[in-house]
Protein backbone atom coordinates (compact mmCIF):
# COMPACT_ATOMS: atom_id res chain seq x y z
CA UNK A 1 0.00 0.00 0.00
CA UNK A 2 1.67 3.18 -1.17
CA UNK A 3 -1.28 5.58 -0.89
CA UNK A 4 -1.87 7.89 2.05
CA UNK A 5 -3.98 7.60 5.17
CA UNK A 6 -5.36 10.87 6.52
CA UNK A 7 -2.46 11.33 8.95
CA UNK A 8 0.06 11.14 6.09
CA UNK A 9 -1.27 13.96 3.91
CA UNK A 10 0.98 17.04 4.26
CA UNK A 11 -0.63 20.36 3.38
CA UNK A 12 1.47 22.14 0.76
CA UNK A 13 3.17 19.00 -0.55
CA UNK A 14 3.11 18.41 -4.33
CA UNK A 15 3.29 14.81 -5.51
CA UNK A 16 4.36 14.18 -9.11
CA UNK A 17 2.70 10.97 -10.27
CA UNK A 18 4.98 8.50 -12.00
CA UNK A 19 2.69 6.87 -14.55
CA UNK A 20 1.82 8.72 -17.75
CA UNK A 21 -0.41 7.79 -20.67
CA UNK A 22 -0.37 8.52 -24.36
CA UNK A 23 -3.98 9.16 -25.25
CA UNK A 24 -5.04 7.36 -28.43
CA UNK A 25 -7.87 7.83 -30.88
CA UNK A 26 -9.23 4.54 -29.49
CA UNK A 27 -9.20 5.88 -25.91
CA UNK A 28 -11.24 8.88 -26.97
CA UNK A 29 -13.66 6.84 -29.06
CA UNK A 30 -14.20 4.19 -26.39
CA UNK A 31 -14.67 6.79 -23.68
CA UNK A 32 -17.31 8.55 -25.75
CA UNK A 33 -19.00 5.22 -26.52
CA UNK A 34 -19.11 4.13 -22.88
CA UNK A 35 -20.49 7.45 -21.73
CA UNK A 36 -22.95 7.65 -24.66
CA UNK A 37 -21.39 10.96 -25.68
CA UNK A 38 -21.75 11.43 -29.43
CA UNK A 39 -20.45 14.98 -29.57
CA UNK A 40 -19.07 15.37 -33.13
CA UNK A 41 -16.21 17.54 -31.87
CA UNK A 42 -14.82 14.31 -30.35
CA UNK A 43 -15.83 11.74 -32.95
CA UNK A 44 -16.29 13.30 -36.39
CA UNK A 45 -13.02 14.25 -38.08
CA UNK A 46 -14.73 16.16 -40.88
CA UNK A 47 -16.85 18.19 -38.47
CA UNK A 48 -13.83 18.92 -36.26
CA UNK A 49 -11.76 20.02 -39.28
CA UNK A 50 -14.12 22.97 -39.63
CA UNK A 51 -13.94 23.89 -35.93
CA UNK A 52 -11.45 26.34 -34.43
CA UNK A 53 -9.34 23.38 -33.27
CA UNK A 54 -9.02 21.85 -36.74
CA UNK A 55 -9.11 18.28 -35.48
CA UNK A 56 -10.97 16.07 -33.00
CA UNK A 57 -10.61 16.99 -29.34
CA UNK A 58 -10.17 14.39 -26.65
CA UNK A 59 -13.22 14.33 -24.36
CA UNK A 60 -12.34 16.59 -21.42
CA UNK A 61 -13.93 14.22 -18.93
CA UNK A 62 -11.52 11.55 -20.10
CA UNK A 63 -8.62 13.89 -19.35
CA UNK A 64 -10.08 14.63 -15.92
CA UNK A 65 -10.77 10.97 -15.15
CA UNK A 66 -7.29 9.94 -16.31
CA UNK A 67 -5.72 12.60 -14.08
CA UNK A 68 -7.56 11.12 -11.10
CA UNK A 69 -6.59 7.58 -12.11
CA UNK A 70 -2.91 8.53 -12.42
CA UNK A 71 -3.05 10.12 -8.96
CA UNK A 72 -4.76 7.27 -7.10
CA UNK A 73 -1.66 5.12 -6.36
CA UNK A 74 0.00 8.02 -4.51
CA UNK A 75 -3.09 9.46 -2.83
CA UNK A 76 -6.14 7.32 -2.10
CA UNK A 77 -5.56 3.72 -3.25
CA UNK A 78 -7.36 1.66 -0.60
CA UNK A 79 -7.37 4.55 1.88
CA UNK A 80 -10.47 6.40 0.79
CA UNK A 81 -14.07 6.23 2.01
CA UNK A 82 -15.51 8.29 -0.85
CA UNK A 83 -14.83 11.27 -3.08
CA UNK A 84 -16.87 14.15 -1.64
CA UNK A 85 -16.57 16.66 -4.47
CA UNK A 86 -14.73 17.96 -7.49
CA UNK A 87 -14.63 21.73 -7.95
CA UNK A 88 -13.49 24.28 -10.51
CA UNK A 89 -12.78 21.73 -13.23
CA UNK A 90 -11.31 23.48 -16.25
CA UNK A 91 -9.42 22.57 -19.41
CA UNK A 92 -7.10 25.50 -20.24
CA UNK A 93 -5.67 23.79 -23.34
CA UNK A 94 -7.02 21.10 -25.67
CA UNK A 95 -5.86 17.47 -25.77
CA UNK A 96 -5.38 15.78 -29.14
CA UNK A 97 -4.88 12.15 -30.12
CA UNK A 98 -1.27 11.18 -29.46
CA UNK A 99 -0.67 13.56 -26.58
CA UNK A 100 1.07 12.11 -23.53
CA UNK A 101 -0.38 13.21 -20.22
CA UNK A 102 1.09 13.33 -16.73
CA UNK A 103 -0.46 14.54 -13.50
CA UNK A 104 0.49 16.02 -10.16
CA UNK A 105 -1.39 16.55 -6.91
CA UNK A 106 -0.89 19.31 -4.34
CA UNK A 107 -2.44 18.94 -0.88
CA UNK A 108 -4.41 22.13 -0.17
CA UNK A 109 -6.18 21.44 3.11
CA UNK A 110 -7.06 18.73 5.61
CA UNK A 111 -9.35 18.45 8.63
CA UNK A 112 -10.67 15.71 10.86
CA UNK A 113 -14.33 14.78 10.85
CA UNK A 114 -16.27 15.77 13.96
CA UNK A 115 -16.03 12.25 15.41
CA UNK A 116 -12.27 12.26 14.83
CA UNK A 117 -12.36 8.91 13.09
CA UNK A 118 -11.81 10.06 9.50
CA UNK A 119 -10.50 13.10 7.67
CA UNK A 120 -11.40 15.35 4.76
CA UNK A 121 -8.55 16.15 2.38
CA UNK A 122 -8.69 18.74 -0.41
CA UNK A 123 -6.17 18.40 -3.22
CA UNK A 124 -5.42 20.33 -6.39
CA UNK A 125 -4.91 18.01 -9.34
CA UNK A 126 -3.21 19.22 -12.52
CA UNK A 127 -2.62 17.38 -15.81
CA UNK A 128 -0.05 18.42 -18.40
CA UNK A 129 0.76 17.33 -21.94
CA UNK A 130 4.21 16.51 -23.36
CA UNK A 131 4.90 20.23 -23.92
CA UNK A 132 4.06 21.00 -20.27
CA UNK A 133 0.88 22.80 -21.27
CA UNK A 134 -1.72 22.60 -18.50
CA UNK A 135 -4.63 20.65 -20.00
CA UNK A 136 -6.84 20.12 -16.94
CA UNK A 137 -6.99 21.33 -13.37
CA UNK A 138 -9.47 20.88 -10.54
CA UNK A 139 -9.87 20.49 -6.81
CA UNK A 140 -10.65 17.06 -5.42
CA UNK A 141 -12.01 16.57 -1.91
CA UNK A 142 -11.94 13.08 -0.44
CA UNK A 143 -13.04 11.47 2.80
CA UNK A 144 -9.98 9.51 3.92
CA UNK A 145 -9.44 6.71 6.38
CA UNK A 146 -7.23 7.29 9.40
CA UNK A 147 -4.50 4.70 9.82
CA UNK A 148 -5.40 4.41 13.50
CA UNK A 149 -8.94 3.23 12.83
CA UNK A 150 -8.05 1.23 9.71
CA UNK A 151 -5.61 -0.72 11.89
CA UNK A 152 -8.38 -1.34 14.44
CA UNK A 153 -10.54 -2.70 11.67
CA UNK A 154 -7.77 -5.06 10.56
CA UNK A 155 -7.51 -6.41 14.11
CA UNK A 156 -11.25 -6.97 14.46
CA UNK B 1 -29.49 18.64 -35.16
CA UNK B 2 -31.60 18.60 -31.99
CA UNK B 3 -29.20 20.37 -29.61
CA UNK B 4 -29.41 24.03 -28.72
CA UNK B 5 -27.67 27.11 -30.04
CA UNK B 6 -27.06 29.88 -27.51
CA UNK B 7 -30.27 31.72 -28.45
CA UNK B 8 -32.35 28.60 -27.71
CA UNK B 9 -31.32 28.02 -24.11
CA UNK B 10 -34.11 29.16 -21.76
CA UNK B 11 -33.06 29.99 -18.21
CA UNK B 12 -35.12 27.96 -15.75
CA UNK B 13 -36.05 25.22 -18.21
CA UNK B 14 -35.45 21.62 -17.15
CA UNK B 15 -34.82 19.07 -19.88
CA UNK B 16 -35.34 15.39 -19.07
CA UNK B 17 -33.00 13.37 -21.25
CA UNK B 18 -34.57 10.42 -22.98
CA UNK B 19 -31.74 7.90 -23.13
CA UNK B 20 -30.86 5.91 -20.01
CA UNK B 21 -28.16 3.33 -19.34
CA UNK B 22 -27.91 0.29 -17.12
CA UNK B 23 -24.38 0.41 -15.75
CA UNK B 24 -22.66 -2.96 -15.89
CA UNK B 25 -19.69 -4.48 -14.11
CA UNK B 26 -17.92 -4.31 -17.49
CA UNK B 27 -18.61 -0.55 -17.81
CA UNK B 28 -17.06 0.06 -14.42
CA UNK B 29 -14.07 -2.18 -15.08
CA UNK B 30 -13.37 -0.75 -18.54
CA UNK B 31 -13.70 2.81 -17.30
CA UNK B 32 -11.20 2.13 -14.52
CA UNK B 33 -8.85 0.43 -16.99
CA UNK B 34 -8.98 3.27 -19.51
CA UNK B 35 -8.37 5.89 -16.85
CA UNK B 36 -5.67 3.79 -15.13
CA UNK B 37 -7.68 3.92 -11.91
CA UNK B 38 -6.96 0.80 -9.85
CA UNK B 39 -8.89 1.86 -6.75
CA UNK B 40 -9.88 -1.43 -5.06
CA UNK B 41 -13.21 0.03 -3.98
CA UNK B 42 -14.16 -0.14 -7.69
CA UNK B 43 -12.39 -3.33 -8.78
CA UNK B 44 -11.81 -5.70 -5.85
CA UNK B 45 -14.99 -7.44 -4.67
CA UNK B 46 -13.33 -8.88 -1.57
CA UNK B 47 -11.93 -5.51 -0.52
CA UNK B 48 -15.26 -3.80 -1.16
CA UNK B 49 -17.14 -6.44 0.85
CA UNK B 50 -15.32 -5.13 3.93
CA UNK B 51 -16.12 -1.48 3.17
CA UNK B 52 -19.16 0.39 4.44
CA UNK B 53 -20.82 -0.15 1.06
CA UNK B 54 -20.45 -3.93 1.10
CA UNK B 55 -19.85 -4.21 -2.63
CA UNK B 56 -17.94 -2.53 -5.45
CA UNK B 57 -18.87 1.06 -6.20
CA UNK B 58 -19.14 2.36 -9.74
CA UNK B 59 -16.42 4.96 -10.39
CA UNK B 60 -18.03 8.34 -9.71
CA UNK B 61 -16.34 9.92 -12.71
CA UNK B 62 -18.06 7.37 -14.91
CA UNK B 63 -21.40 8.44 -13.46
CA UNK B 64 -20.53 12.09 -14.07
CA UNK B 65 -19.27 11.44 -17.60
CA UNK B 66 -22.34 9.36 -18.45
CA UNK B 67 -24.63 12.13 -17.18
CA UNK B 68 -22.91 14.55 -19.56
CA UNK B 69 -23.08 12.07 -22.43
CA UNK B 70 -26.82 11.49 -21.87
CA UNK B 71 -27.38 15.25 -21.91
CA UNK B 72 -25.41 16.09 -25.06
CA UNK B 73 -28.13 15.34 -27.66
CA UNK B 74 -30.48 17.86 -26.02
CA UNK B 75 -27.93 20.52 -25.08
CA UNK B 76 -24.64 20.85 -26.95
CA UNK B 77 -24.42 18.29 -29.78
CA UNK B 78 -22.61 20.15 -32.55
CA UNK B 79 -23.41 23.54 -30.99
CA UNK B 80 -20.58 23.87 -28.49
CA UNK B 81 -17.18 25.54 -28.75
CA UNK B 82 -15.81 24.06 -25.50
CA UNK B 83 -16.77 23.12 -21.97
CA UNK B 84 -15.49 25.93 -19.76
CA UNK B 85 -15.89 24.36 -16.33
CA UNK B 86 -17.57 21.83 -14.11
CA UNK B 87 -18.31 22.91 -10.53
CA UNK B 88 -19.58 21.41 -7.30
CA UNK B 89 -19.50 17.83 -8.53
CA UNK B 90 -20.90 15.56 -5.84
CA UNK B 91 -22.22 12.01 -5.54
CA UNK B 92 -24.91 12.01 -2.83
CA UNK B 93 -25.65 8.29 -3.23
CA UNK B 94 -23.55 5.35 -4.49
CA UNK B 95 -24.02 3.61 -7.84
CA UNK B 96 -23.79 -0.18 -7.99
CA UNK B 97 -23.50 -2.62 -10.90
CA UNK B 98 -26.92 -3.06 -12.49
CA UNK B 99 -28.27 0.36 -11.62
CA UNK B 100 -30.07 2.21 -14.41
CA UNK B 101 -29.24 5.89 -14.66
CA UNK B 102 -31.10 8.80 -16.20
CA UNK B 103 -30.17 12.49 -16.31
CA UNK B 104 -31.77 15.90 -16.51
CA UNK B 105 -30.40 19.37 -17.18
CA UNK B 106 -31.70 22.70 -15.87
CA UNK B 107 -30.52 25.93 -17.48
CA UNK B 108 -29.27 28.20 -14.68
CA UNK B 109 -27.79 31.19 -16.48
CA UNK B 110 -26.72 32.51 -19.89
CA UNK B 111 -24.79 35.54 -21.12
CA UNK B 112 -23.27 36.67 -24.38
CA UNK B 113 -19.52 36.95 -24.80
CA UNK B 114 -18.15 40.49 -25.00
CA UNK B 115 -17.93 40.34 -28.80
CA UNK B 116 -21.54 39.13 -28.97
CA UNK B 117 -20.63 36.24 -31.24
CA UNK B 118 -20.97 33.40 -28.75
CA UNK B 119 -22.59 32.72 -25.40
CA UNK B 120 -21.78 31.19 -22.04
CA UNK B 121 -24.42 28.84 -20.64
CA UNK B 122 -24.43 27.40 -17.13
CA UNK B 123 -26.50 24.29 -16.53
CA UNK B 124 -27.22 22.08 -13.54
CA UNK B 125 -26.96 18.41 -14.43
CA UNK B 126 -28.47 15.73 -12.20
CA UNK B 127 -28.32 11.94 -12.51
CA UNK B 128 -30.72 9.56 -10.79
CA UNK B 129 -30.90 5.79 -10.37
CA UNK B 130 -33.95 3.56 -10.91
CA UNK B 131 -35.23 4.42 -7.42
CA UNK B 132 -34.99 8.15 -8.17
CA UNK B 133 -32.09 8.56 -5.76
CA UNK B 134 -29.84 11.44 -6.80
CA UNK B 135 -26.47 9.83 -7.58
CA UNK B 136 -24.57 12.77 -9.10
CA UNK B 137 -25.06 16.50 -9.50
CA UNK B 138 -22.89 19.30 -10.82
CA UNK B 139 -22.87 22.57 -12.70
CA UNK B 140 -21.64 22.59 -16.28
CA UNK B 141 -20.64 25.80 -18.04
CA UNK B 142 -20.22 25.71 -21.80
CA UNK B 143 -19.23 28.18 -24.51
CA UNK B 144 -21.99 27.84 -27.08
CA UNK B 145 -22.31 28.83 -30.71
CA UNK B 146 -24.93 31.38 -31.73
CA UNK B 147 -27.16 30.21 -34.53
CA UNK B 148 -26.69 33.56 -36.26
CA UNK B 149 -22.94 33.12 -36.64
CA UNK B 150 -23.09 29.36 -37.20
CA UNK B 151 -25.40 30.11 -40.14
CA UNK B 152 -22.91 32.65 -41.45
CA UNK B 153 -20.22 30.02 -41.30
CA UNK B 154 -22.39 27.59 -43.24
CA UNK B 155 -22.86 30.20 -45.94
CA UNK B 156 -19.17 31.03 -46.19
- The span from the CA of B104 to the CA of B17, in Å, is 6
- pLDDT, tens digit, 9 for 90 and up, residues B8-64: 999 999 999 999 999 999 999 999 999 999 999 999 999 999 999 999 999 999 999
Instruction: Give the Cα separation of A136 and A15 in Å (integer).
Output: 16
- Does the pLDDT of residue A155 top 60, yes or no? no
Provide the pLDDT for residue A149.
83
In this structure, CATH architecture of domain B6-155: Roll (3.10)
Tens digit of pLDDT for each residue in B49-58? 999 999 999 9
10-49 in chain B: CB under 8 A from chain A: 19, 21, 27, 30-32, 34-41, 47
Residue A142 confidence (pLDDT) = 96
Establish if A120 touches chain B: CB-CB under 8 angstroms.
no
pLDDT in tens, A15-74: 999 999 999 999 999 999 999 999 999 999 999 999 999 999 999 999 999 999 999 999
Of A61, A66, A94, the CB nearest to B68: A61
CATH hierarchy code of domain A6-21+59-155: 3.10.129.10
- Mean pLDDT in residue range B73-86: 93
Averaged pLDDT of chain B: 94
Q: Which residue in A36, A48, A62 has the most chain B C-beta atoms within 10 A of its own C-beta, making it the best mutation to test that interface?
A: A36
**Mean pLDDT throughout B125-129?**
98
User: What residue segments make up the domains of chain B, in order of their start?
Assistant: 6-155
**B34, B83, B153 member nearest A30 (Cβ):** B34
Average pLDDT over chain A, rounded to whole?
94
How far does A87 lie from chain B, in Å, by closest CA? 5
Amino acid sequence: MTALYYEEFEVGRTIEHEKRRTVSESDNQRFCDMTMNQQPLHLDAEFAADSQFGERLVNGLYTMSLAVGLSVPDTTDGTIVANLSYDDVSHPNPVFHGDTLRAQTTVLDKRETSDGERGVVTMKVEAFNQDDDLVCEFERTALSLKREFAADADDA
